Every structure is written in structure tokens, then in C-alpha cells.
Chain A
């Protein structure tokens, strides 16, 4: 079945460590996104990518990095510079206009990161 796969589902990190969250999609979508979810704050955009080898900062990019070497993959690295990384991280994708874009975001099941 087509969809978005995030891994790991749960991740624990010690302070000062970098961690990488995986996001893979087989929907043939051009655009991919990373959101951070905190209680009472909704979904905040970290980074997004419209095409391979190109990505832009979202509203809260500080302390995070991404890469887009393949259309189906958009990993997120939470670096030690992120001051409050404990959160639920969601990856999403959507088709763009001309490639079947409907406006709908498809989300993965999320990765919960806890800093010890």
C-alpha cells in the first residue's frame, strides 16, 4: 500500500547527541515536509522540500537539518543545537499542481523523541 513510513516510532536521546529521523514515501509525491507537534501549539513547520536536492526552512528550523537526495526520502536530523527537542515529529508529503496535486497532506505516524 502507498503511504509514508517514519522510523523510529520512539527515540531517546541524551543531551548533546544528534539523532536522525527517517521518512520514506512511495506516493510519488514531489513535496515533503517535517512538522513538530507540541501540546497546545498545533503543527509547526520545520523544513520542506519541493524537489530533490532542494529544501527551505520553515518557521522553526533552528537546530534541525535535512537532506533530499532522493524523491522518496526526506530525513530530519535533530542536532545538539536544538534547545528543546522533546516532541512528536511528523513527516508529510503532497503532490504538486501538475503532478496530481489535490492540496491534501499525507502524514506518517510520527516519531516521538525524548531527550533524557
Chain B
């Protein structure tokens, strides 16, 4: 059962434009929503993360918007640059599991290409 749905699968944006990637989740117990960035041939790295007690988090050109009632969250990349070309994964986890263990569920990924 896929618990985190991500769209679109691929995205082409012109330099300077806004890239928007959307995710939806089903499990209301999730309480941590990170986004990971992966360059070709490398492992993913944490980009930005949000908890459900806030509706928006901004770090530089990257913003997460979170809608708890709709169970949706999205990544916005402002002023997109060619160096942002990568695959982006949304994820969700529950940190309240006993023993502090968290199992992370990932979306299927969005391949972003920013063209000059």
C-alpha cells in the first residue's frame, strides 16, 4: 500500500521559474515530513523538513507548504537554477513509535530539470 503519493513524476522548468512538487499522505499518525534531494549517482540528502504544527517552512529558495486537513504538502523552489536539477523525494514518518524508532515512507520521486 503506497502511503505517500508524489506528483509529477518529472518536471521541466525554465531558469528563474518556480518548481512545484506535490505529495499526499494517508496515515494521520505521520508527524514529520522531510524532502530529500538526490543528484545522479549519489545518495539522497535532506533538503528541508516540516512538522504538522506549522503550515509553512522556508529555507532560502525552498519552501514547504503543509495542509494538515487535506493531508497534503508541497515543495516550492523559487528562482529555480540549473544546479537544482535533481530528483526530489517527499517522505513521511512517525516519531512517536515506541523506542523512538521511525520508519520513513518515501514518495516515488520527481525528476526536475531546470533549463537555462
A and B assemble together: yes
Contacting A at CB under 8 A, from B63-94, are 89, 93
Please state if A103 and B93 are interface contacts (CB–CB under 8 Å).
yes
Bound-state CA distance A62–B5 (Å) is 24
Number of contact residues on B: which range applies? 20 to 34
A105 at interface (Cβ–Cβ under 8 A)?
yes
Contacting B at CB under 8 A, from A7-42, are 31, 33, 35, 40-42
* Known contacts A96-B101, A103-B32: A108-B108 contact under CB 8 Å: no
Please state if B44 and A43 are interface contacts (CB–CB under 8 Å).
yes
Please state if B100 and A42 are interface contacts (CB–CB under 8 Å).
no
Of all chain B residues, the one with the shortest Cβ separation from A88 is B41
Contacting A at CB under 8 A, from B49-74, are 49
Number of interface residues of A (CB under 8 A): 28
* Known contacts A41-B108, A43-B89: A107-B43 contact under CB 8 Å: yes
* Known contacts A97-B95, A103-B49, A103-B102: A110-B34 contact under CB 8 Å: no
Contacting B at CB under 8 A, from A92-116, are 92, 94, 96-98, 101, 103-105, 107-110
Which of B9, B95, B99 is the one whose CB lies under 8 Å from A103? B95
Which B residues are in CB contact (< 8 Å) with A110?
Answer: 41-43
Please state if B100 and A109 are interface contacts (CB–CB under 8 Å).
no
Please state if A107 and B45 are interface contacts (CB–CB under 8 Å).
yes
22 contacts between A and B (CB under 8 A): A31-B101, A33-B104, A42-B106, A42-B107, A43-B44, A43-B89, A43-B106, A44-B106, A50-B101, A90-B43, A96-B101, A97-B100, A101-B100, A103-B34, A104-B34, A104-B46, A104-B49, A107-B43, A108-B43, A109-B43, A110-B41, A110-B42
